[in-house]
Structure 1
C-alpha cells in the first residue's frame, strides 16, 4: 500500500499517525494527571466540604449532651442554652443533608449518614426518656459521627494525601481536634454531673477520669506533632496556625488543671455547675477555634495545589499542542523541500522511461541526498546517451564501434561490449556458414536429382508389386472359399456319421430289448404250458366226477323206480344229475381239446422265440459290426474335417496376410508418391535456400567488422 503513495502522501500519513498517537498519549496523560492530581485534589475538597458541617454537628452534639444531663438533674439555668443548641442541631442536620445530596453518593457515605441522621433525630426527640443512659446514648451517637468523619477522610483521599502539608492538616482537623474535643467534652459532662450533685467522686468515676485524662494529653501531643510536620513542609503557615495551636494546648492544660483542682484532688466538688461549664467549654471552644482557622488553610492548600495542577495540565497540553504544530510545520517544510525536486526527478524519470534522453536534472547547488540524486541522475542520462549513440551506430551496421564500460558494475556497458563482440564473431561465422551453405545447397541439389530418378523407379516397381499382390489376393480368396465349402461338407458328413452311430447304438439297444422280451415270453409260455397240464389234470378229475355222477344218476333212477310214486322227485334229480354229468363230459372234452391246442401253440411259440433270440443275437452282431464301421468312418470324416478346417484357417490367415501385404503395398505406393512429392518440395526449398543464402550474403556485406 505504501508503494502506491507519493512522498507527500507518505509524510501526511506519517503526520496523521503521529498526530493520532500524540492525541492518544495526550489524552492518557491528561487523564492520568487528572486522576492522580486534579481529580485527587478535587475529591479532597469534596471531603473537606463534607467534613466541616460534620464537625459543626459534632460540636453541638457535645454541647447538647452536657446541657441535657444538667437539665435532667434539675439545673434549669441550662434549659435556654440547650434549646438553642437543639435548634442549631436541626440547622446542622440540614447543612449535612445538603452536602450529602451533592457528594454523598460519590464518596460512598450516604448510607452511613442516613443512619447517623436517624440516630441524631431520635436522640433529639427522646432525650428526656433515656435518663441515666443519656450519657452513653449520646456518646455512642458522637462516636458514630467520628466514624463517619474517618470514613469521609478515607473516601475523599484526605487520609492518603502524599503531600505532608495537606495530609497533616487534614489529620489535625479531621482526627486530632474532633477526638480531643470529644474526650474533653466527656470529661466536662461527667464533671458537670458531679458539680450538680455536689457528691464525692467514686472509684469507677475516678478511673473514667484517669483514662480520659491521658487521652487528652495524647491528642494534644498529636495535634502538636501534626503542626510540626506542617511547619517542616511549609514554614510560611506557622504564623497563621501556631497561635491557635498554642491556645489549644494552653486551654487543654488549664482544663486538666481545673479538673485536678476542682474534682480529682478534693473530697467534694464545690464549684458551681455554671462556672464549671463555662471553664471547661472554653477549652473545647479553643480546639474548635483552631479547627475553624486550620480548615480554611487546608482548603487554600488544596485549592492552590489544584490550581497548580490545572496550570501544569494546561501547560502540558499547550506544549504538546505546540510540539505537534511544530512537528506539522516541520513536516510541511520538509515535504515542500523534498517534494518539488523529487517531483522533478519523477518527471525526468518518466521522460527517460519513454526514451527521451534530452532530459536535464540540475542539483541547484544542493549538498544533501536530493542533490546527490540529481547528480547521479544526470550522470546516468549521459551514460545512456553514449549507449544510445553506440546502439545507433550498431543499428546502421557499424560493428567497429568501441564501447567503454563505466565500471565493473556497469552491466549495460559490459553487456553492449559483449553484444558487439558477439555480433562481430557471429557475422564472421555467418559469412563462413553462408559459403558452406552455398556449397551444401549445390551438393544437395545434385543428390536430390539422383534421388528423384530413383524415386520414380521405386514408384513404378511398387505399382507392379501392388498389382501382383492383388492377383495373389484374389487367388487366396478363391482357395479360402473352396476350403470353407469342403470344411462345411466335412462337418455335415461328421454330423451324419454321428447320427448313424447313434442309430446303430439305438438299434442294438432295441434288439437287446427284443431278445430279453423273447426270453421273458418263452418263460411265460413254458409256465403257461405247465398251467395247461395242471388244467388237464383238473379236467380229468372233473371227467371222473362226471362218470361217477352218471353212475350215481343211474343208481338214483333205479332207486326212484323202486320207490315208485315217492321216488318221482328223486328220479327228476337223478335225471338232472345225469344231464349235468353229460354236459361236464362235453365241457371237459372241449377243454381238453383247447388245452391240447394251447400246448401245441405254446410249443410253437417257444420254438419261435428261441429262433427269434438267435436271430436277435445275429442282428446284434451285425449291428455292432455296422456301428464299428460307422465309427471308423466318423473318425476318418472328423480327421478330414479337422484337416480341412486347419486348411481353411491357414487359407484365411494367408488371405489376411495377403490383404496386409496389399495394404502395405498401397501404403508403400502412397509413401513413394509422397516421398517423390517431398523430394520435389525439398528441391524447391533448396532453390529457395540458395536464394536466401545469396540474400544473407548481401546483408552480411553491409556490416562493418573491425579488423
Structure 2
C-alpha cells in the first residue's frame, strides 16, 4: 500500500533529510578534521621540541670539544667558538621552553647546568694555558670538575630526551587514531546516507512508477486495445498520481458521454436521412408552386415601383417647402435677436435714468436740509429784530433810527421765511415727482427685463422651430432619397424574382440529386453506428 503523500512533499522531505544527513556528516567530518589538525600541530610541536633538545645536546658536545681542544693545542682560539656554541645551546633551550611550557622548569635547570659547564670548561682552558697540563687535567678529571659536570648534564639531557621521545610517540599514535576514527566515521556515514537514499528511492519507485505503469496500461487499452471506456483508475489520496488518475477518469467519462451522445446522434441522422428523402419530393412540388407565385410577385413589384416614384416626387416638394420655411425662421430669429439687443439697450437707459432721478432726489433732500438751516436763521433774525425794536423803544428818541432798521430787518426776515416756505413746498412737490418718476422707472426697468426674457424665449422658440424645420427638411430629403433608393431596389427585386424563377427550375433538378444523396447519407449513418458500437460504454 503506497504512502498517501504528494510527490512534491516526498521530494521535499527526501531532499531535506538528505541535506540534513550530509550536513551532519560534514559537521562530524569537520570535527574529526579539526581534531586531526590539532593532533598534527601537537605532533609538529613535539618534533620541534625534540629537535631543539637534539640541537642543544649537539652544541653542548661542541662546548666540550672546543674547550678540551684548548688543552691539547695550547691556543685560546677555540674559546670563541665554544662561546658561540654556548649561545646556540641557550637559544635552543629557550625555544624548547616556548614550544613545551610544561618542560620550562627542566629547561631552565639544564640551561643553568650548561652555563656552569661553560664556566668550568673556561676555567679548565685557562688552567691549561696559564698553569700547565697537570693543572688543567686536575680541573677536568677532579671531583666536581669538567668531566663530572659534563656527565651530569648528559644524564639530564638523556632523561629529558626520553620523556620527549615518549610524548612524541604518544602524539604520533594519537594522530593515527584520530585519522582512523575520521576515516571510520566518514565510511559509516557515507554508507548510512547511501542506505537512506536507497530506501527513499524504493519508496519513490513504489509510489510513483507503479501507479504510472498502471496509468500507462489503461491509456493503451483505451487507445488501441479493448476500447473499454468503463475503466476507472484509483484516484484516492493526495499525490500528483492520484490527481492525474482523477483527470484520466474524468477524461474517460467525458469520452464515454461523447460516444454515447454520438451514437444517439447517428441514429437520429439515419432517421433524418429517411425524412430528407421524403422532403426532397415535397420540395420539388413546392418549387413548382413557387415559380407561379414569383410571376405574381413580379407584377405586384411593377405596381409598387410606380407608387414609389410618386412618393419620391411628393417628398422632394415637401423638402423644398421645408427649406423655404427654414429660411424664414432664420430671418425671424435674426429679428428677435435684434429686438433683444434693443430691449437690453433700453433697459440700460432706464437704469441710468433711474440712477439720475435717485441722485436728484438725494440733492432735493440736501436742499431741504439747507432750507431748514435758512428757516432757523430767519427765525433767529426775526427774534433779534424784535429784541432790537424793544430796545429802540426803550431808548426813545435816540433809538428811533435803530427801530426803523430793526423793522426793516424783521420785514426781510419774514420775507425770507415766506420764501423758504415756498421753496420747501416746491422741493416737496419736486421730491414727490421724483419719487413717482423713480417708481415709474423701476416699473419700466422690470418690464424691460421681462421683455428681454420674453424676447429670449421667443428667440429660443424660433431656434427650436428652425431646428425642427431643418430636421423636417432633412427628413424630407432622406425620404426622397429613400424613395429613389427604393425604386432602384424594387427594380433589383424584380430582376431577382426573375432569377428566382430560373433558380426554381434548377432546384427541381437538385431535388432529384438530394434524393440520391439522402440514400448515401443513410448508408454512411449505418456504418458510423457500427464504428461507434465498438466502444464499450456500459
TM-score with structure 2 length normalisation?
0.42
- Return the index of the structure with the highest Cα Rg: 1
Q: Which structure is higher in RCO with an 8 Å CA cutoff and minimum separation 6?
A: 2
TM-score with structure 1 length normalisation?
0.33
